[in-house]
Amino acid sequence: MAGVELTGVRKIYPNGAEAVRGVDMTIEHGEFIVFVGPSGCGKSTLLRMVAGLESITEGEISIDGRIINEVSPADRDVAMVFQNYALYPHMTVRGNMSYGLKNRGNSKAEIHEKVEEAAKMLRIHDFLDRRPQQLSGGQRQRVAMGRAIVREPKVFLFDEPLSNLDAKLRVQMRIEIKRLQRRMDVTSIYVTHDQTEAMTLADRLAVINDGRIEQMGAPLELYNNPTTLFVASFIGSPQINLVPVVFDGDKLISGDIALSGFKDLPTDADLVLGIRPDDLTQNGEGEVSLRVDLVEQHGAENLIYGALLGAAAEEGEETEICIKVDQQTLPKIDATLKLGVNKSRALVFRKDNGQRVL
């Protein structure tokens, strides 16, 4: 059973920059794990360390119980799908897919069988004799995936493979990747900065911040129960609403706004109240008011953006919030809406260290 284990993994470059800071992680056989985080957080570096394309400064990485720190990339039994496809332009699709198998010394009959099977699975059988420049971006990405599939690796590694595709094609390819991974039951690690992509694909998410794993768990677990302000603000689309508040022992206070129903919160620290757009309602008790600045119409669900009136302002700027509404009559720009707050879903964090206190 090909699981992957990382123990105390660090990456420090010669200039002293620390890209990965002591990562511990266990990935079970057949799991689809997604590394998600902002650009420069270390997620691609971590993936490349598993692939053997980056050296490990400290710690151990093992695949199927075998420590691979000093094993060459070719001998790790992993297959990687890149953002830029990395296809040989002078070769046909068949040539690209069979190249690695030829280098391994597989027989012609075996190569033909594997390429044909993968091409049918990926619906690129009709393109086997074309060259990459004759294909669309989505077709090229399928070829790159086919090249990985025919190797029958223990672990699939995906480095932002859909970034170069348009929005509609990204959705289609997400479905393809998830379906293939389930069908083949191969342990997979996928890197993206797109949290929607991450939520859609992952069995578990690893939210990475500044070279560390901020939180790891199932997508809905991280959405509903983030342990830090960073995770709460990164996971969820549209983004969670964040309001600076203090607790006076009875209410959460933000400027002229006072929200009751909270208790046992620190009174000696600046706090941040987090409310998802779904948890603010137009026809609620009217505890807070929103001035409408923008209405985004998406069909069944629409988004209203604006300023939270009376809220404490940081650095002189208004506190911007968003609410999600269905196909009801949409407000006009500059209208004022009274909103109810679902306090049972409220999240509260310390501002100084980002740790959740409610």
What integer is the mean pLDDT of 252-272? Answer: 95
Token pair in block for residue 312: 């404490």
* 122 within 8 A of 96, measured Cβ to Cβ: no
Tell me the per-residue pLDDT of 17-54, one tens digit each, with 9 for 90 and over.
999 999 999 999 999 999 999 999 999 999 999 999 99
Asked, as a colleague might, if the bond just before 238 is cis with ω within 30 of 0, I would say: yes
The confidence score (pLDDT) of residue 284 equals 63
The token pair that represents 39 in the structure block: 């650009």
* pLDDT-above-70 percentage for the chain: 99
56 — pLDDT class (breaks 50, 70, 90)? very high
Would you state the structure tokens that stand for residue 82, as one six-digit string?
Answer: 């890149």
Average pLDDT over residues 228-238: 96
Residue 314 pLDDT exceeds 90: no
pLDDT (tens digit per residue) in 129-188: 999 999 999 999 999 999 999 999 999 999 999 988 888 888 988 998 999 899 899 999
Q: Is the pLDDT of residue 197 over 70?
A: yes
As a whole-number percent, the residues of the chain with pLDDT over 90 amount to 84
pLDDT of residue 85: 86
Chain mean pLDDT for the chain: 94
Q: Which pairs count as long-range contacts for 299-304, CB under 8 Å and 24+ apart, including other chains?
A: 299/327, 300/326, 300/327, 301/325, 301/326, 302/326, 302/327, 302/330, 303/238, 303/277, 304/330, 304/331, 304/337
* The predicted structure's pLDDT at residue 302: 94
- What's the per-residue H, E or C state across 237-264? CCCCEEEEEEECCCCEEECCEEECCCCC
Condensed to tens digits (0 to 9), the pLDDT of residues 58-105 reads: 999 999 999 999 999 989 999 999 888 889 999 999 999 999 999 989
b vs e for 73-108, b when ≥16 Cβ sit within 10 Å of the residue's Cβ? eeebbbbbbebebebeeeebbbbbbbbbbeeeebee
What residues does each domain of the chain span?
A: 4-229, 239-350
Query: What SS3 state is found at 78?
Result: strand
Range of lowest pLDDT (20-24, 58-62, 286-290, 291-295): 286-290
pLDDT at residue 328 greater than cutoff 60: yes
* Confidence band of 1 (pLDDT split at 50, 70, 90): low
Residue 315 clears pLDDT 90, i.e. is over it: no
Please give the average per-residue pLDDT across 182-208, as a whole number. 94
CATH number of 4-229: 3.40.50.300
> Cα–Cα distance between 147 and 150 in angstroms, integer?
6
End-to-end CA distance of the chain, in Å? 39
Is 5 a residue whose pLDDT tops 90? yes
> How sure is the predictor about 126, in pLDDT bands with cuts at 50, 70 and 90?
very high
Return the C-alpha torsion angle 21, 23, 71, 104, nearest 10.
Answer: -120
pLDDT over 90 (residue 118): yes
- Residue 126 token pair: 């009709």
